[in-house]
Amino acid sequence: MTDRIPGFATLAIHAGAQPDPTTGARATPIYQTTSFVFEDVDHAASLFGLQTFGNIYTRIGNPTNAVLEERVAALEGGTAGLAVASGHAAQVLVMHCLMRPGDEFVASKKLYGGSINQFNHAFKNFGWNVVWAEPDNIGTFERAVSAKTKAIFIESIANPGGVITDVEAVAKIAKNAGVPLIVDNTLATPYLCKPIEYGADIVVHSLTKFLGGHGNSIGGLIVDGGTFNWSREKRYPMLCEPRPEYHGIVLHETFGNFAFAIACRVLALRDIGPALSPFNAFLIITGIETLPLRMQLHCDNALAVAEWLAGHNKVAWVSYAGLPNDRYYKLAKRYVPKGAGSVFTFGLKGGYDAGVKLVSNVKLFSHLANIGDTRSLIIHPASTTHRQLTDAQKTEAGAGPDVVRLSIGLEDKADIIADLDQALAAG
């Protein structure tokens, strides 16, 4: 080996993994076990006291999961990672380590609908309060910050509309406020964008989507950027105060630039418990090995489909940042120069009824509530995921009556376009 820094594709295949020392297996084994044998009493005590790294119980850590954690952290340029049961679980654990009852965090209005619901409703049961800001008006983030603010949360590419957020501008606001910036990088993946390079402190992923990439496993991941001073002003007691569970250890003092990942593991995952199955970790690791190939084809296909839709007489508008006339095109060229992702929305001139007919008439596309699959996926949010909202609320959420969301897959682009063409003609 040389001192050369490996490239992205090399890391996607090799980071975190070695041949199995016992069997010589080249693929990462599935360590399908609940628990691990200690060498002796002293070894057990050092593990439980955070004096030695190692495996205790799969709810806290597992060798298969550890490969996944190290691989995604390496791809993102972070210091450490933590794999959990879902993207939603990742968000809960992050906030558990940052927030106390009565605290606030600022979040972009342009987010995945499930995150909006989680922040507006479920988080209130913990006493965590969200204050919304508008990513098209960066000043609203600054105005939303108060003495109670403990974090700012955005998506690099927002679901469903493909909105590109000015990560660096929001990072400056977070830094001035003395709070960490959390970026959901699910739609971009580190192949398209590395938010830590633009000032993010924490990155979260739904592994379910493009990182796993095959629609077969649910998972989430937290990446510690290693960039935030958790002891500053003593605002984050779980990281800067002695922990009684671990004989008074101060996590930031002990673990330095990966203290947040440790906190999420030993103070959040340990007690809240949304552990990732080693089998799911294995499938997601396998998916990541082809991430750069898949993401580039996703983007190339999506651009071709968006261009075709933009010229169709039944289409009123297309929202895809890869199109030169899109309002987010300049931001896309800066933050995601290799492509604007594969998820975007468009509007049908026939409104709600046309949207329902379209999803009923497709044959190659799968009509379902997911994104990031090898297969092309379609959904009409107003009649499915957002049907409980008023028309005004649907429009505010980017899910108006005419909106159709696509997640463009890896099929031949001519076949993808042909399916949309026949479905639009049948409507």
Distance CA 48, CA 34 (A): 16
Whether residue 368 contacts residue 379, with contact meaning beta carbons closer than 8 Å, is answered with yes
Assess whether 200 and 138 both reside in one domain.
Answer: yes
Q: CA angle 113-115-117, nearest 5°?
A: 70
Q: CA angle 248-249-255, nearest 5°?
A: 170
Whether residue 215 contacts residue 370, with contact meaning beta carbons closer than 8 Å, is answered with yes
Assess whether 268 and 310 both reside in one domain.
Answer: no
Q: What are the tens digits of pLDDT across the range 290-339?
A: 999 999 999 999 999 999 999 999 999 999 999 999 999 999 999 999 99
SS3 409: coil
Domain limits at 221? Answer: 8-287
The verdict on residue 118 lying in a domain is yes
Query: Residue 24's domain is classified under what CATH number?
Result: 3.40.640.10
Assess whether 370 and 410 both reside in one domain.
Answer: yes
**pTM score of the predicted model:** 0.96
Domain boundary among 287, 316, 332: 287
User: Given the structure tokens 């489909």, which residue do they identify?
Assistant: 305
Distance CA 232, CA 240 (A): 9
- The H-or-E segment that residue 403 falls in is strand 403-407
Assess whether 243 and 315 both reside in one domain.
Answer: no
Assess whether 221 and 325 both reside in one domain.
Answer: no
* 45 CB neighbour count, 10 Å cutoff: 12
Whether residue 194 contacts residue 227, with contact meaning beta carbons closer than 8 Å, is answered with no
Whether residue 79 contacts residue 257, with contact meaning beta carbons closer than 8 Å, is answered with yes
Q: What are the tens digits of pLDDT across the range 235-285?
A: 999 999 999 999 999 999 999 999 999 999 999 999 999 999 999 999 999
403: nearest Cα among 422, 426, 425, 385: 385
Assess whether 246 and 314 both reside in one domain.
Answer: no
The verdict on residue 314 lying in a domain is yes
The verdict on residue 1 lying in a domain is no
Distance CA 374, CA 65 (A): 23
- The H-or-E segment that residue 415 falls in is helix 413-426
Assess whether 75 and 191 both reside in one domain.
Answer: yes
User: Given the structure tokens 């629609």, which residue do they identify?
Assistant: 215
Distance CA 278, CA 74 (A): 20
Please give the backbone phi and psi of residue 223, each rounded to the nearest 5 degrees, phi first: -115, 125
* Successive 10-residue mean pLDDT values, the chain, 427 residues: 83 95 94 96 95 95 98 98 98 98 96 91 97 96 98 94 94 98 98 98 98 97 98 94 95 97 98 98 98 98 98 97 97 98 96 94 96 96 76 74 95 98 94
Domain boundary among 272, 287, 302: 287
Domain boundary among 287, 322, 346: 287
Assess whether 133 and 117 both reside in one domain.
Answer: yes
The verdict on residue 132 lying in a domain is yes
Assess whether 197 and 137 both reside in one domain.
Answer: yes
Assess whether 281 and 331 both reside in one domain.
Answer: no
Assess whether 302 and 218 both reside in one domain.
Answer: no
Query: Residue 376's domain is classified under what CATH number?
Result: 3.90.1150.10
Token digits of residue 263: 């906190």
Number of domains in the chain: 2
208: nearest Cα among 46, 58, 54, 370: 370
pLDDT of the residue at 2: 60
The verdict on residue 393 lying in a domain is yes
Assess whether 258 and 315 both reside in one domain.
Answer: no
pLDDT of the residue at 162: 86
70: nearest Cα among 299, 240, 258, 340: 258
Distance CA 217, CA 72 (A): 16
Sheet harboring 202-206: ordered strands across?
80-84, 220-224, 202-206, 181-184, 149-155, 104-108, 129-133
The verdict on residue 165 lying in a domain is yes
Whether residue 319 contacts residue 326, with contact meaning beta carbons closer than 8 Å, is answered with yes
The verdict on residue 3 lying in a domain is no
Distance CA 408, CA 307 (A): 13
The verdict on residue 2 lying in a domain is no
pLDDT of the residue at 268: 98
pLDDT of the residue at 1: 45
